[in-house]
């Protein structure tokens, strides 16, 4: 008996239109999954970008923004705040040239010998020790923590000790040990801007940074047009 062939239809999209089409699909599915729900205009591009990067619509519920976090992040970047990551993979996914135009840079101290030595002496993790090193810079910092809950815990301690005042904390580590509680610590901070993925989840795709910095004009633009460029994922 002849086996019936399954017909698979492919959507024909020009290469330069793939990302646009992806966002059209995301917008359509968001309306289907969350009928009648609206997002704050400045937060919606971030939520859609995270969904674009992960193909996971749970982030429409999981991402928590402190009041004015997006606006404050944009201001910090315009003013040359440096981005500190807890993985070199995350650092690699950030557009260095765009940051240079803003007088900024992206740093990761995880592989530094002095960080490894400090962690060994103090009996802590490199991620925690790298946050101490960032605090010693004396510069405005945006922290993008995508791997280590201990980095978030140490940031919380440094803030409470008055040794650090981050311009923004992005908290999206995944896992089981202290992941949820470390995020809740950040969420409890009253005067620190944050974007946190509540719960255990982060990205599904290894090797793809949630938030990738790209082009940001110094002049005035609508926030909803800027955010996809500032924190831009690679997935299409």
Encoding tokens for residue 226? 């800027």
How far apart CA 31 and CA 34 sit, in angstroms, is: 5
Marked catalytic residue, from 52, 72, 154, 203: 52
Could you tell me if 69 and 195 are in contact, meaning their C-beta atoms sit under 8 angstroms apart?
A: yes
Compute the distance between CA of residue 106 and CA of residue 108 in angstroms, rounded to an integer. Answer: 7
Classify residue 216 by its DSSP letter.
-
With beta carbons less than 8 A apart as the criterion, state whether 151 and 128 touch.
yes
Say whether 52 is catalytic.
Answer: yes
Q: Quick check: 167 and 76 in contact, CB under 8 A? A: yes
> 5: buried, middle or exposed (CB in 10 Å: 19+, 13-18, 0-12)?
exposed
The answer to whether 142 touches 81, Cβ cutoff 8 Å, is: yes
What residues are annotated to the active site?
52
């Amino acid at each position: 008996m002849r086996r019936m062939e399954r017909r698979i239809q492919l959507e024909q999209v020009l290469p330069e239109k793939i990302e646009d089409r992806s966002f059209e699909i995301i917008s359509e599915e968001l309306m289907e999954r969350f009928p009648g729900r609206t997002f704050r205009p400045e937060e919606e591009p971030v939520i859609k970008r995270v969904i674009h990067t992960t193909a996971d619509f749970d982030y429409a519920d999981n991402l928590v923004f402190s009041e004015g976090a997006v606006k404050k992040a944009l201001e910090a970047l315009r003013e040359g705040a440096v981005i500190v990551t807890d993985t070199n993979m995350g650092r690699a996914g950030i557009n260095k040239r765009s940051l240079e135009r803003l007088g900024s840079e992206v740093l990761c101290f995880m592989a530094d010998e002095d960080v490894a030595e400090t962690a060994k002496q103090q009996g802590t993790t490199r991620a925690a020790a790298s946050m101490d090193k960032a605090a010693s810079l004396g510069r405005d910092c945006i922290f993008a923590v995508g791997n280590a809950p201990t980095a978030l815990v140490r940031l919380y301690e440094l803030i409470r000790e008055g040794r650090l005042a981050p311009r923004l904390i992005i908290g999206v580590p995944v896992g089981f040990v202290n992941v949820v509680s470390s995020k809740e610590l950040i969420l409890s901070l009253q005067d620190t801007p944050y974007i946190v993925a509540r719960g255990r989840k982060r990205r599904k795709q290894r090797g793809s940074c949630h938030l990738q910095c790209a082009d940001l004009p110094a002049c005035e633009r609508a926030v909803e047009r800027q955010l996809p460029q500032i924190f831009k994922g690679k997935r299409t």
